[in-house]
Copies of this chain bind each other. A is one copy, B any other.
Amino acid sequence: MTVKKGDFVELEFVGKIKETGEIFDTTDPKIAKDAGILKKNTVYRPLVVVVGKGQLIPGVDEALIGMKENEEKSIEVPPEKGFGKRDPKLVKLIPITELRKRGIKPKVGMRVTIDNAVGRIVNITGGRVRIDFNHPLAGKHLKLDLKVKKIIKDDKEKIKGIISMYYPNAKLEDINVEIKDGTVSIEVDDTFKFDNRPHSNITLTQARIAKEIWDNIEGVKRVEFISAFEKTKAKSTT
């Protein structure tokens, strides 16, 4: 059984910049730690992806097709199949006063968000700040070690995988998924219940998860998110 477009897979990877060998991302906490890029408060586990749907850079999406479960593969990815070529027009000169107005004290190397675009300060000269809004990996040739940990066949597992795309730290074992007559019911756990973002944001995230589910799982017409309260449990907390 090999990976086809639309398959759900558990993917393990190590991503390096070809030129320098620098590791920019990985699913392996040990490698991340050794590379000095271990993220705090982050659950490290294989990434669940739907293959060939643009969730990954094109080079990886293509490489996965035809791989077997537990197969490993090392690939090289040029910029055009990675994070794109560098666009010189995305390097902008902005007056320092403009940044100060926005409460930013510019320093070289600092990441700044201006009009929803994220950039990195390249240099500061004569009252002007040069900011590079290209993706940090744009223009880079990459080397990736890939492993298809699993091809997911079970619909409940696929759904949990989709949830993990939006909630990377979710305790998937505590989320109860039921499928019946085209309706998917997802009972969320306390991590979700005590999310402090505005409720309307949660609704939008839920709508995206729902769309991802019916776009990728045959026969689903309705997705329900359930927040449940049990009599005995509630008594113990009041």
Chain B proximity mask over A172-206: 1 for CB below 8 Å, otherwise 0: 00000000000000010000111111111111001
Count of this chain's copies in the oligomeric assembly: 2
Report if A207 contacts B (CB, 8 A): yes
Q: Which A residues have a C-beta under 8 Å from some C-beta of B?
A: 187, 192-203, 206-207, 210-211, 214, 220-231, 234, 237-238
- Besides A194-B199, A207-B229, A222-B228, 15 new A-B residue pairs in contact (Cβ under 8 A), listed by A number: A187-B224, A192-B199, A193-B199, A193-B200, A193-B203, A195-B198, A195-B200, A196-B198, A196-B200, A198-B198, A203-B227, A211-B238, A220-B231, A221-B231, A227-B227
Closest B residue to A223 by CB, please name it.
B229
Closest B residue to A196 by CB, please name it.
B198
CB distance from A169 to the nearest CB of B (A): 16
Name the contact of A228 in the complex, choosing from B223, B229, B231 (C-beta under 8 A): B223
- Contact assessment for A210 and B234 in the assembled complex, using a CB-CB cutoff below 8 Å: yes
Closest B residue to A220 by CB, please name it.
B231
- Contact assessment for A203 and B214 in the assembled complex, using a CB-CB cutoff below 8 Å: no
- Contact assessment for B229 and A210 in the assembled complex, using a CB-CB cutoff below 8 Å: yes
CB distance from A220 to the nearest CB of B (A): 7
A206 proximity list for chain B (CB < 8 A):
227, 229
- Contact assessment for B198 and A197 in the assembled complex, using a CB-CB cutoff below 8 Å: yes
30 A-B pairs within 8 Å (CB atoms) are namely A187-B224, A193-B200, A194-B199, A194-B200, A195-B198, A195-B199, A195-B200, A197-B198, A197-B199, A198-B198, A198-B199, A199-B199, A199-B201, A199-B202, A210-B234, A211-B229, A211-B234, A211-B238, A214-B234, A220-B231, A221-B230, A221-B231, A222-B228, A223-B228, A223-B229, A224-B226, A224-B227, A224-B229, A225-B226, A227-B227
A199-B198, A200-B193, A202-B199 given as contacts; is B234 within 8 A of A229 (CB)? no
Give the docked Cα–Cα distance between A64 and B210 (Å).
Answer: 47
Give the docked Cα–Cα distance between A202 and B195 (Å).
Answer: 10
Give the docked Cα–Cα distance between A234 and B196 (Å).
Answer: 25
Give the docked Cα–Cα distance between A226 and B202 (Å).
Answer: 13
